[in-house]
Structure 1
Amino acid sequence: MEPEETAAQTPAAPETEAPAAAGDSVTDIGLSLLAEGQDFLHSLLRPWNAYQVAIALALLLAAWLLRAAFGPRIRAWMAARQGWPMWRMRILAFIHRRLMGIFFVILIWLAVWIMREVTWPSRSYLLGIIARLATAWLVVTFATRFVHSPVMRTILRYGAWTYVTLTILNLTDEAGTLLDSVGFELGDGVRLSLLLLVQGFVLVSALMIGARFLSKTTATRIQRNEDISPSMRVLVVKAVQVLLYGAALFLGLNAVGVDLTGLAFLSGAIGVGLGFGLQKVVSNLVSGIIILLDKSIKPGDVISLGDTFGWINTLGARYASVVTRDGKEYLIPNEDLITNQVVNWSHSDAFVRLDINFGTSYTDDPHKVRKLAIDAARKVTRVLESKPPVCHIVGFGDSSVDYVLRFWIEDPTEGLTNIRGNVFLALWDTFHENGISIPFPQREVRMLPET
């Protein structure tokens, strides 16, 4: 009588539960997965399955003992081969850190093979699943080591572990149905589910990793091309990066079914708002592109901007890095390089002319002073012989004849103050040896008698 009463009562259920169809589907799937999990746990209690679990645990203990025995020996063997290439040492270091997993995979597959040869294949079924899971987890761990970002590597590793586990346990359809049942409607027939988000994240991440690899490879090749100017190399690398990352994002979202045309109006409104809020950022970005296109400033140039004197280290999208002689690194916005007066000491060539002003006594022969000044400048190492120094009289002062000594150098990155100091010192030594006096202002005070 109980089954009949139950059957008689069931027809009334759809009227009260119809509005919560989506919730029911999630509940039903969850209950189905829970039932399957309970069946799996019950199956573990069967004698042969319990034996296989015990064998797996024993093999895990054996793998731990093998790692404890061979780990120090392998580390000592690696320490004796420090001259090996870096990539080979990284592989050895990975193997050393995963010794327990490697030993476990070898032992469990050996146990599976022995059990299949000695007993019935069905009695090693659970052990085979554990072996496949351990192998897949080890392969995923090794593959994700090639991802440089720690955050991305962790996300990919746990995501791949989850996927291979569901695949080996034949639970991908149930998990996909459960994820797809959790979502909400956005209007016009567009539904955003948890499955769609997971698929989009996985696909976009994979495309981003591929774009990053291609951009690094392309950047390396472009930087090695000597036929392209340094400024154009930077511009091409930035353009390739923007193109690859933008294409990866667009293709990833489009592949999972996200309609990007509906975002056009929203992106336009956001763009207007960002345009007002990020005026300086956009200005610096456009200024950086202009600098790269007109080649007015490029990496390696020596510039002066206000009180800052140094050479361009890098050109970025927002600023230029200028390193001074005292080791300070100034981040100068690109807009300042466009709107302000910049002295580029090596724009068209590396030749720089420097002037030194000095004076001698009226009792000294000007012809002899000019000749000695030129000879003194030529003795300094960095002064060019191809552009010989010159010395001219520029005026007659209150207590001295004023001169200017002009000379050329071709290595402004080595500094300007030090070369001026060396030339001044050479002048001092030469004038001292030849009796040329350097006057200084003197004042004579006379005390008039009182009247």
Structure 2
Amino acid sequence: MDWDLSAQPPIVQKMADIALQGYEIALGWLLSPAAWTQFALLIVAYLAAVVLARRIRPTLLRLFTPPADSASFLARMRRWLLLTVPLLLPVLAYVFAAIGEQVTRSAFGTGTVIAFGKGLFLFLAARILVRDILTDPFLKLLGRYVLLPVVALYAVGLLDPLTERLNATMISLGNISFSVMTLLRGVIVGALLFWFGRWSNDQSAAYISKQEEMRPATRQLAAKAAELLIFGFAFILLMNILGVPLTSLAVLGGAIGVGLGFGLQKIASNYISGVILLLEGQATVGDYVELDSGQAGTIVKTTARAMILETFDGRWIVVPNEDFITTRIINYSDQGSANRLEVAFSVSYDTDINLIPDIVAKAVATHPGVLSKPEEPDVELRGFGDSGIDFCVEFWVSGIDDGKNKYASDVLFLIWNVLKEHNIEIPYPHRVVELRNAPAAE
């Protein structure tokens, strides 16, 4: 074709040149035996993949389908593999196309057409992976905006030229220079590494929390140590991938040391105090503690810097870990340890007080929260009051008398009922008023 486009705008001339080059390439493919051979091999590769996938698919479905009621690790792994069965067809087609490419390159010295078809099969596999297999929102987002564009560029043969261009484009920040490709690779790999670190941390924390033979404080310490190791390893691996020598971090370490010496003393103290608390087990999640200031609550969360206490009215108190080391803390240990409570009551002076200890102790012992060990309920005579005889019942319970537990109130109800059953009067104050210099009654 010989068209005179000299009078047309430059952009039109450029587009015409591109169209002409495409036409010549397409014409060369149509007239080339190598191109026809590659087209034929692509069709054969696809048909062979279809036939083989139909034969293998039932076996894979039977192999990867676990029992419906199974929840073991192997069962979860089989369910995940079951989701990958739709990848069978495009993966087999890609493998057969790769074999065909080697044949055509050996026979004709070229394999452009079949390489494009191979990339197309790979793109279909990536699309199925992102659309049907990945369930995590972050991985699905990464697959949609990173994996699919990269595979599409690979399929059309533009990935290598684009990579070279990005490697050649440099960004300078002071004395530091790096390529755009290094920046993109660092962002993508860093996101994947820290996602994997988060997933690994969740799995390890779930596994550690199931180890009932370990003390709660030991489980928390093990979980925090695993978290530190996982994310520390991810950071070191990312630095190696980016080509940043670890020796260059010495300056950063020195700066952190200076910061700890001046402005971060409290943070370092709280962090070390938190480690000591976990090692000694003095306070852990679930314990009910009372601070030196009089505030009290249940520990609901431990962090590197502080303990989080929740009061019975739903408020949260953030207490620095250092306070648990340097101040007086009363730990009521609402984790199954026993606490002794006492409830006072009075009876009338007309009562046979020898009956009181036995009937009240038996009544209090019927409460489901009252323990028989270390001691059964005990009734003591405390004194002779103005209006009645004062007694007190002591009993042991597991927990504290607040929040969901109403031990004192329940015991008072039991005492009231048992005294009424035995016709024992609970006294109330009586006053005799004497009027002096009052007129005599007629």
> TM-score, with normalisation over the residues of structure 2?
0.67
Q: Does 1:430 align with 2:422?
A: no
CA distance, structure 1, for counterparts of residue 346 and residue 398 of structure 2 = 27
Query: Which amino acid letter does the alignment assign opposite residue 230 of structure 2?
Result: L
Correspondent of 1:258 among 244, 247, 257: 244
What does 1:151-300 correspond to in 2, within 5 Å? 151=138, 153-185=140-172, 191-269=177-255, 272-273=258-259, 282-300=268-286
The answer to whether the 8 Å contact 2:201/2:226 transfers is yes
Report the Cα offset of residue 425 of structure 1. Answer: 0.9
Correspondent of 1:444 among 424, 429, 432: 432
Helix, strand or coil for the counterpart of 1:247?
helix
Query: Which amino acid letter does the alignment assign opposite residue 180 of structure 1?
Result: N
Which residue in 1 is equivalent to 2:102?
none
Query: Which amino acid letter does the alignment assign opposite residue 330 of structure 2?
Result: V
CA distance, structure 1, for counterparts of residue 82 and residue 341 of structure 2 = 58
Report the Cα offset of residue 130 of structure 1. Answer: 5.3
Correspondent of 2:367 among 380, 385, 390: 380
The answer to whether the 8 Å contact 2:347/2:424 transfers is yes
The answer to whether the 8 Å contact 2:119/2:156 transfers is no
CA distance, structure 2, for counterparts of residue 109 and residue 40 of structure 1 = 31
What is the CA deviation profile of residues 227-262 of structure 1, one whole-angstrom value per residue up to 9, with x for unaligned ones?
Answer: 321211111111111122112112221232223433
From the two aligned structures, give the one with the greater helix fraction.
1
Q: Using a 3 Å threshold, how does the CA distance of structure 1 residues 243 and 146 change in structure 2: closer, same or farther?
A: farther
CA distance, structure 2, for counterparts of residue 36 and residue 249 of structure 1 = 50
What does 1:49-448 correspond to in 2, within 5 Å? 129=116, 132-133=119-120, 135-139=122-126, 142=129, 150-151=137-138, 153-185=140-172, 191-269=177-255, 272-273=258-259, 282-305=268-291, 306=294, 308-310=296-298, 312-322=299-309, 328=314, 330=316, 332-335=318-321, 336-338=323-325, 341-346=328-333, 350-386=337-373, 387-410=375-398, 412=400, 417-448=405-436
Stretches of structure 2 that go unaligned for 5 or more consecutive residues are: 1-14, 31-35, 40-67, 98-107
CA distance, structure 2, for counterparts of residue 205 and residue 276 of structure 1 = 33
CA distance, structure 2, for counterparts of residue 324 and residue 37 of structure 1 = 74
The answer to whether the 8 Å contact 1:285/1:334 transfers is no
Report the Cα offset of residue 325 of structure 1. Answer: 6.3
CA distance, structure 1, for counterparts of residue 357 and residue 401 of structure 2 = 29
Stretches of structure 1 that go unaligned for 5 or more consecutive residues are: 1-33, 56-82, 112-120
Report the Cα offset of residue 370 of structure 1. Answer: 2.3
CA distance, structure 2, for counterparts of residue 200 and residue 211 of structure 1 = 16
What is the CA deviation profile of residues 343-402 of structure 1, one whole-angstrom value per residue up to 9, with x for unaligned ones?
Answer: 323379621211101122223233222222212212222222342111112222222222
Q: Using a 3 Å threshold, how does the CA distance of structure 1 residues 332 and 187 change in structure 2: closer, same or farther?
A: closer
What is the count of residue pairs matched by the alignment? 379
Q: Using a 3 Å threshold, how does the CA distance of structure 1 residues 261 and 91 change in structure 2: closer, same or farther?
A: closer
Helix, strand or coil for the counterpart of 1:204?
helix
Report the Cα offset of residue 427 of structure 1. Answer: 0.7
What is the CA deviation profile of residues 85-132 of structure 1, one whole-angstrom value per residue up to 9, with x for unaligned ones?
Answer: 89688888999xxx9x99999999999xxxxxxxxx99x965862563
The answer to whether the 8 Å contact 1:377/1:389 transfers is yes
Helix, strand or coil for the counterpart of 2:247?
coil
Which residue in 2 is equivalent to 1:19?
none
Structure 1 window deviating more from structure 2 (161-170 vs 348-357): it is: 161-170
Query: Which amino acid letter does the alignment assign opposite residue 380 of structure 1?
Result: H
Structure 1 window deviating more from structure 2 (363-372 vs 332-341): it is: 332-341
CA distance, structure 1, for counterparts of residue 399 and residue 249 of structure 2 = 54
Q: Using a 3 Å threshold, how does the CA distance of structure 1 residues 92 and 321 change in structure 2: closer, same or farther?
A: farther
CA distance, structure 2, for counterparts of residue 391 and residue 177 of structure 1 = 89
Report the Cα offset of residue 444 of structure 1. Answer: 3.3
CA distance, structure 1, for counterparts of residue 241 and residue 423 of structure 2 = 87
Report the Cα offset of residue 322 of structure 1. Answer: 4.9
Helix, strand or coil for the counterpart of 2:426?
coil
CA distance, structure 2, for counterparts of residue 109 and residue 229 of structure 1 = 53
State percent identity of aligned pairs: 28
Q: Using a 3 Å threshold, how does the CA distance of structure 1 residues 146 and 401 change in structure 2: closer, same or farther?
A: farther
What does 1:20-35 correspond to in 2, within 5 Å? none
Q: Using a 3 Å threshold, how does the CA distance of structure 1 residues 108 and 268 change in structure 2: closer, same or farther?
A: closer
The answer to whether the 8 Å contact 2:126/2:147 transfers is no
The answer to whether the 8 Å contact 1:392/1:403 transfers is yes
Report the Cα offset of residue 424 of structure 1. Answer: 0.7
Helix, strand or coil for the counterpart of 1:286?
helix
Query: Which amino acid letter does the alignment assign opposite residue 395 of structure 2?
Result: F
Q: Using a 3 Å threshold, how does the CA distance of structure 1 residues 244 and 41 change in structure 2: closer, same or farther?
A: farther
Q: Using a 3 Å threshold, how does the CA distance of structure 1 residues 319 and 446 change in structure 2: closer, same or farther?
A: same
Helix, strand or coil for the counterpart of 2:370?
coil
CA distance, structure 2, for counterparts of residue 420 and residue 428 of structure 1 = 12
Helix, strand or coil for the counterpart of 2:359?
helix
The answer to whether the 8 Å contact 1:302/1:346 transfers is yes
CA distance, structure 1, for counterparts of residue 124 and residue 277 of structure 2 = 50
The answer to whether the 8 Å contact 2:119/2:154 transfers is no
Structure 1 window deviating more from structure 2 (300-309 vs 241-250): it is: 300-309
Q: Using a 3 Å threshold, how does the CA distance of structure 1 residues 128 and 356 change in structure 2: closer, same or farther?
A: same
What is the CA deviation profile of residues 175-223 of structure 1, one whole-angstrom value per residue up to 9, with x for unaligned ones?
Answer: 22211222245677x5311122123233333433443444344333323
Report the Cα offset of residue 174 of structure 1. Answer: 2.0
Query: Which amino acid letter does the alignment assign opposite residue 170 of structure 2?
Result: G
Which residue in 2 is equivalent to 1:76?
none
Q: Using a 3 Å threshold, how does the CA distance of structure 1 residues 135 and 181 change in structure 2: closer, same or farther?
A: closer
Structure 1 window deviating more from structure 2 (273-282 vs 294-303): it is: 273-282
